[in-house]
Amino acid sequence: MSKQFDVIVIGGGPGGYIAAIRAAQLGFNVACIDEWKNAKGGPALGGTCTNIGCIPSKALLQSSEHYDHAAHHFADHGIEVKGLGLDVAKMLARKDTVVKQNNDGIVYLFKKNKVTFFHGRGSFVAAKDGLYDIKVAGAAEETLSGKHVIVATGSNARALPGAPFDEETILSNDGALRIGAVPKKLGLIGSGVIGLEMGSVWRRLGAEVTILEGLPTFLGAVDQQIAKEAHKAFVKQGLKIELGVKVGEIKTDKKGVSVAWTNAKGEAQTLDVDKLIVSIGRAANTIGLAPETVGLKLDERGAIVVDEECKTNLPNVWAVGDVVRGPMLAHKAEEEGVAVAERIAGQHGHVNFNTIPWVIYTNPEIAWVGQTEEQLKAAGRAYKAGTFPFMANGRARALGDTTGMVKMLADATTDEILGVHIVGPFASELIAECVVAMEFRASAEDIARICHAHPSLSEATKEAALAVDKRTLNF
């Protein structure tokens, strides 16, 4: 006899666990199935984000930044550090504790919201009489039956052909987050978000880091004025970034990895490193889901096909997060999860794709929302641009971190904010104001007229808004 639920969520990452909580809040009887195992084989809710993504990477970025500050920047503040040491094992253990706190937090939230959790792999078995049968294969096997199914099975790292991940020498994000000792030489393929974040962590801790990027442009999706500023800062810090490369054969032996590659001029090169992180993007994951048993449609890249409301081709089957189209971001997955739960309840959940913020947690941080100058030009949209450098911001000077700028783009006629792009300290936090402004369709003048605390980095946002009208006060 199968257990009956109103809503069955497959996947307990940010898309799935948030959808489950919201559906339970709306009065549904909800099950969430997740197969992630911790080191002891027990459940570890939170998916990629919590276990091998957002959370552990930010923990290591923070620890490595502290080390970098102590090694290179405390002296500027008159603080002497003698005998500075590094305990990588402790740093990794702290990261694991942070991960566990987040895993446990979700267990607590499921109890609080009365979501029934099943540890194991969920797969479609059959669709009959308006219900879907889902098998859970875990320590014990059981079958659940539900009226609605939300698939939130996430994504996996893409490997390079002929160079599978062994997580010892050729690493995905998983292995990259648990290197036991600082490698002398570290190579990365792909200078996207993971390449820059993980490259930064291990460079700060002392590795010689080389990143090989296939495209000729650095951070092509980022506003190029911001990307250029960030590139300058990364190169100054010692990250070697090679653009426009072609990666050839990758060989591993006891000593490490040897990567044959061709530079932008077509010259053959070799990169010999102790470890290689491959960060060339991620692919939607439907392993073990058995979508074919019920006819759930996938696209040519293996992502579940959904419409703008996250409806699949099957009635009452929904899909959210990395397993569907759109940016692979935890907050995008969460917003879709909430919207789907609300739609199941007959409400009008909505995700505004134009105002999803992006953050790259390097130093300087890079954050943006809305359109870049390049996109506006390509669309033929008349716009005004205003920039304000952190060099002219009092709080940034006091912090001792004046790299970067805030750049605001507004419609030439209506002054509506079309995009904000930030490179600099706490860009991740500053972008929130800009998202709110764009959600409320604010004009640059609205931001320029709002009182911002002094001294604060947010004054740079206000000044960038003033700059749109060519009337900065402090620059």
d(CA 36, CA 42) in angstroms, rounded, equals: 8
Selected from 12, 154, 195, 357, the binder of ligand NAI by CB under 6 A is 195
Within residues 21-60, the interface with ligand FAD by CB under 6 A covers 33-36, 47-49, 53-54, 57
β-strands 185-189, 208-212 pairing: parallel
Query: Cis ω on the peptide bond leading into residue 164 (within 30° of 0)?
Result: no
Q: Which residues contact 139 (CB under 8 A, 6 or more apart)?
A: 119, 120
Residue 253 Cβ vs ligand FAD, minimum distance, rounded to whole Å = 27
Range list of β-strands (E), 304-448: 317-319, 358-360, 365-370, 383-389, 405-411, 417-424
- How many residues in the shown chain lie near ligand FAD by CB under 6 A? 37
In sequence order, the β-bridge partners of residue 142 are 136
Binding mask 121-160 for ligand FAD (x = CB under 6 A): xxx----------------------------xxxx-----
Angle between helices 88-113 and 14-25 (to 10 degrees): 20
d(CA 440, CA 328) in angstroms, rounded, equals: 25
Both tokens of 289, joined, read 């889901």
Nearer to ligand NAI, 86 or 283 (CB): 283
Residue 144 Cβ vs ligand FAD, minimum distance, rounded to whole Å = 12
Should residue 194 be labelled a site residue for ligand NAI when binding is judged by CB under 6 A? yes
- Tokens 């698939």 locate to 151
Q: Which residues contact 369 (CB under 8 A, 6 or more apart)?
A: 355, 356, 357, 358, 419, 420, 431, 434, 435, 438
* From ligand FAD, ligand NAI, none, interface partner of 190 (C-beta below 5 to 8 A by class): ligand NAI
Nearer to ligand NAI, 229 or 322 (CB): 322
Selected from 186, 227, 303, 330, the binder of ligand FAD by CB under 6 A is 330
Should residue 154 be labelled a site residue for ligand NAI when binding is judged by CB under 6 A? no
Residue 212 Cβ vs ligand NAI, minimum distance, rounded to whole Å = 6
Q: Are 443 and 412 in contact (CB under 8 A)?
A: no
Q: Which residues contact 224 (CB under 8 A, 6 or more apart)?
A: 217, 372, 373, 374
Nearer to ligand NAI, 163 or 457 (CB): 163
d(CA 468, CA 475) in angstroms, rounded, equals: 13
* Contact stretch for ligand NAI (CB under 6 A) within 12-20, 187-195, 228-236, 292-300: 187-195
Q: Are 332 and 351 in contact (CB under 8 A)?
A: yes
Should residue 372 be labelled a site residue for ligand FAD when binding is judged by CB under 6 A? no
Nearer to ligand FAD, 154 or 370 (CB): 154
d(CA 25, CA 7) in angstroms, rounded, equals: 12
Nearer to ligand NAI, 209 or 359 (CB): 359
* From ligand NAI, ligand FAD, none, interface partner of 247 (C-beta below 5 to 8 A by class): ligand NAI
* Contact stretch for ligand FAD (CB under 6 A) within 21-29, 266-274, 324-332, 388-396: 324-332
Q: Are 282 and 322 in contact (CB under 8 A)?
A: yes
* From ligand NAI, ligand FAD, none, interface partner of 393 (C-beta below 5 to 8 A by class): none
Residues that bind ligand FAD (CB under 6 A): 10-16, 33-36, 47-49, 53-54, 57, 121-123, 152-155, 173, 194, 285, 288-289, 321-323, 328-331, 333
